[in-house]
Structures are given as structure tokens and as C-alpha cells.
Chain A
Amino acid sequence: MIYFLGLDMLEPYHFAFFRNGVVVSTIAGGLCGFLGVFVVLRGMSYIGHGLSHAVFGGAAASSVMGLNYFVGAGVWGVWSGVLIGRIARRRIIGADAAIGVVTTASFALGLALLNRYGQAKKSIEAVLFGSVLGVKTGDIVAVAIVAVIVVVIVVVAYRKMVFATFDPEVAEVTGVQVQWIEALLMVMLSMTILVTMRVIGTLLISALLVIPASIARMTTNSIARMLWVSPAIGAGSGFLGMNLAYHFDTSVSATIILVAAAVFVVVYATNGVRGRVRIAGLHHV
């Protein structure tokens, strides 16, 4: 037994649900931290926020219609992403407004469906704030598969993704299919939100996409290094947050985000002006 502050650190590991939860939240934290690097550097954090709300609508609709959660919410999420892109491209309204319209409408639809046909208030709460109790082996498999897919895609398309993020205009001219890279990123983002949402919840998932990557940006000037640092912070926050949540009896997602936010505050305070200047240049964070 390992005691810390009078608490038995190993106690929760007697429970299978907790062991599953720790694995999922650690991988989820790492995965969000990894993809978050591109989200933050592209100034897309609002899309992360919006997509998770859109996926909520899809999750509610698929549960009401008796469809598989991953299929229903996944299709819904990707479709919302495409729709946002379409509306924004017509330039009648800006991308931020397009995200606001599409995703909040989807979120509202999800809420209304769950109100009308869902079982109880509890299930809504679980989707909004995440729940560790319902985590099954299937969730571990899903999040692990998505993590592997995302890492493989980013490694293989790394230079194209960096090029398309840094300098889309020249990338296009040089033969990089920028639109495809963007679509790929949206799909990876939707998949990530989909598999992590059950633990982290709809409301706080965008924080996990943004905070670790912002911390990483403060500590380094290299995107390659950010792709190591950010997932490490994300995974660490997921692991630590899950454990603390058990001992302090707090919400898992809130605790994970608070751990990440605490790291942010410490790094921000100790990093001096240079680090702050680095994130000051991140647009729309």
C-alpha cells in the first residue's frame, strides 16, 4: 500500500471500473494533447468546443434511435464539421458564427431529444460532464484504436500538416492538398472527441485540447517538441486527475482540467516573459 496525505493511493485500483477509467483518461489526455497542438496552432480551439457540442447531439439522437453510439455520433460530428466549413466558405457569415449556429443547434436538439425520450436526468449529466462509472473495456479499445490511428496519420502526414498549418497558400502551390489535410484534421478531431467524450464529457473536452498544447507552446519553440510535451502533459493530467477525483470525490473531468490548468499556471508563472510572448501570438485561443 502506498499512503500519501493519509490516503491509500492504491485503494481505487481494486475496482475494475476505476482501472478502466484510469487507462481511458490517460490515453484520452495524451490523445487530446497530441491533436491539440494542431488545434491551438491553427487557432481552431473554438471548433474543438463546437464539435464536442455537435457530437452530443449525435450521441443523443443515436441513443434515441437505438443506433450504435460511435456510428451515430461519429457520422453526426463529421457531418457538422463539413457543414461548418461549407457555411463559412460562402462568406455570408464568419466561421465563428457558423460554428455557433450549427453546433449549438445540434446541442439543443440533443438536449431536447434526451428530455423527451431519454431515461433520466442522470444520463444527460453523464454526457455533459463525463462519467467514469460507465467505462467498459470497449471504451478502452476504442480510445486506443483512435490514438494509434491519429498518431500514425500525424507521423505520416507530419510535414504536410505542418506546412498546411504554417503556410497554407504556399503549401497548396507546392502540391499539398490543403483541403484534404484540413478535412483529415476535422475527422481526427471528431473521432477523438467521440471516444473521449464519455469520460471527459462534452463541456470540458475543448479545455483538454487547448491547455496542454498551450503549456507546451510556452516551453518550446519547436512544433516537433510540442508533439511530445503536449501529450505528456495531457496524459499526466488525465492520470493524476482521475486519481484525485476518486479521493476528493469530485467530477473526473473537472479534476483533470483543474490539474492541467494548475500546470498551466505554474509554467506561466515560472516561464517568464518569453513563454508568455509565445502564447500571446496564438490566435483566438
Chain B
Amino acid sequence: MTKLIECRHLSCAYDSTVVVKDVDLVVKTGEFVGVVGPSGSGKTTLLKVILKAIPPTHGHVDHAPGVRLSYVPQVETVDWNFPVTVTEVVVMTQSRRKLWPRITTKEREDTELVLERLGLAGLGSRHIRELSGGQQQRVFIARALFHQPDLLVLDEPTSGVDVRTRHEMMHLLAELNEGGMSILLTTHDLNGLAAHLPRLVCLNTSVIADGSPSEVLTPEVLEKTYGAPMEVLSHGGMPVVLEHGAAEASRRLSRLNAS
């Protein structure tokens, strides 16, 4: 496996607030890496530094020569009312070195292929608002894939989506990874997404732990990452994270209801 990206002693600050501190991270070809951590732990900032959208204040990000990264934003940030069709969204990334903006026949064919691969066949001429939640998310993955990336970078792909869409998303990403696509994503969904991934990086400004879910999803690491005590159970060999004291809270609430 060759290194796709490498972060060395990476730090990033907005004004005087340090958001990411001294992060070392390597992603190799074929890997599927999830970055987990609470809100404000620097996950999105780390992605943006890796994507070279913002410069680090210290340290380096190295991309392997010729490596292509594609970014899938959070669906919540998308303006669904914007007047574009699915096909127009997908070809948007092909904006360089083109003098005439019309979508070419080749692009249309390639778009159809990508859409078909993601189960969106025949929806190319639809307006983006006219799709279901799961389809909307897949359009943005289609756009990223159209760019033929070596590494797919997703920010919170399961935030703000329902259970079924999350399930679909997980299967889709697993399928892409099996097909050879390297994936890096952020999530705060420990049980729904993170526990299923082969490698997790726990981040709270700096890296707390890096390894397989069974290695990193331990009460000690989680308390350091989230700043709150957590319990970890095992379900069929897979870790399930519970908030510490959840049972106690539920007992108190049921007593309130009973009285």
C-alpha cells in the first residue's frame, strides 16, 4: 500500500484558538478511515487542511504525486433550491480547461454511468430538490466520483439523514471501498457508522487514539475524546458505545412518568 496523504505535526488555529494540534495521520491506498470526535473537536478543520482548502499554522500535509481528492460536503450545507439538475451537479467539477460550457455527449454518457452505479439511473434531468434524502446524498457522491478521485473525503455523511438513508450510505461506501476506493470520513455517529469501519482515529484537537474499533472504542479513549464517561458493550464481536449513567437516567424518567 502506498501513502496517499500524510500529515506531520499538523496544527491549525483560527485567530488564537487552536482547533487542531500536532496531528500525525497517514492514509494509504484502499484504506477506509473514520475520524470521530465531539462537535468542535476539529474534524472538519482537519479535513479542510488535508484538502488544502485552508493552510496549516504548523506542520505539513503531503499528497502523493498526482493524487486526486474529492470532497463530499454535509448535505445540510447544500442549497437545495438552487436551479440545477442532477446532471449539472455531477459535471460541475469538470470546470477546468473548458471554453464552452455546454455538457458534451461524452460527459452525459459518463454521468449516466456514474448515476447508474449509484442507483440513480434515469434521474439526470431531475431538479435536485425532487429527490429523496438518500438520492440527494448520492448525487454528491456521484459528483465526487465523476472527478475520478484516488481518495474520497466525506464530512459527516450520516448527519441529518434518517436510519434507512444511513444504512444505504454505509453499504454504498463499503461497496466503493471493496471496489478499491480509498475513503476518509468524519462522523460523530459512533454506533451507527464508526463501529463498522476498519480504522478509526479519535480526535479531540489532537489524536487520542488510532486503530480498529475494538482497539480504540474503549471507555478510557472515549472519555478522553468526548470528555464524558462512556461504557462499551460487545455485541456479536462489535463494540457498542453507551453513555455512562444512561440506565440511571432512564430509571429516573420512568419513575417520573409513573407518578
Contacts and interface: CB of A to CB of B under 8 A. Distances in A.
A117 interface: no
B247 interface: no
A187 interface: no
Contact of A41 (B78, B82, B85, B96): B82
B71 A158 contact: no
Contact of B92 (A155, A166, A172, A173): A166
A223 B84 contact: yes
Given A163-B95, A170-B73, A223-B88, A217 B101 contact: no
A66 interface: no
Contact of B71 (A173, A224, A281, A282): A173
> Chain B interface mostly helix, strand, loop or mixed?
loop
Contact of B95 (A159, A173, A220, A221): A159
Nearest to A281: B81
A281 B84 CA distance: 14
Given A166-B79, A169-B77, A174-B147, A222 B84 contact: yes
Interface residues of B, number: 31
Contacts of A281: 79-81
A174 B80 CA distance: 20
B201 to A, nearest CB: 20
B179 interface: no
B73 A167 contact: yes
A217 B83 CA distance: 8
A174 B99 contact: no
Interface in B59-114: 69-71, 73, 77-85, 88-89, 91-96, 98-101
B51 interface: yes
A115 to B, nearest CB: 44
Contacts of B77: 169
A226 B84 CA distance: 11
A278 B129 CA distance: 10
Given A173-B51, A173-B53, A223-B84, A155 B101 contact: yes
Contacts, number: 73
A222 B125 CA distance: 10
B95 A226 contact: no
Nearest to B72: A170
Interface in A146-178: 155-156, 158-160, 162-163, 165-167, 169-176
B127 interface: yes
B86 to A, nearest CB: 11
B98 to A, nearest CB: 6
Contacts of A171: 92, 95
Nearest to B92: A163
A98 to B, nearest CB: 19
Contacts of B84: 162, 166, 222-223
B114 to A, nearest CB: 16
A167 B78 contact: yes
A175 B73 contact: no
B53 to A, nearest CB: 5
B85 A159 contact: no
Given A159-B95, A173-B69, 19 more contacts: A166-B79, A166-B84, A166-B89, A169-B53, A169-B77, A173-B53, A173-B71, A174-B70, A174-B93, A174-B147, A220-B83, A222-B84, A222-B127, A223-B83, A223-B84, A226-B83, A278-B81, A281-B79, A281-B81
The 9 closest A-B pairs by CB, nearest first: A281-B81, A158-B101, A159-B95, A221-B127, A173-B51, A160-B95, A223-B83, A173-B71, A163-B92
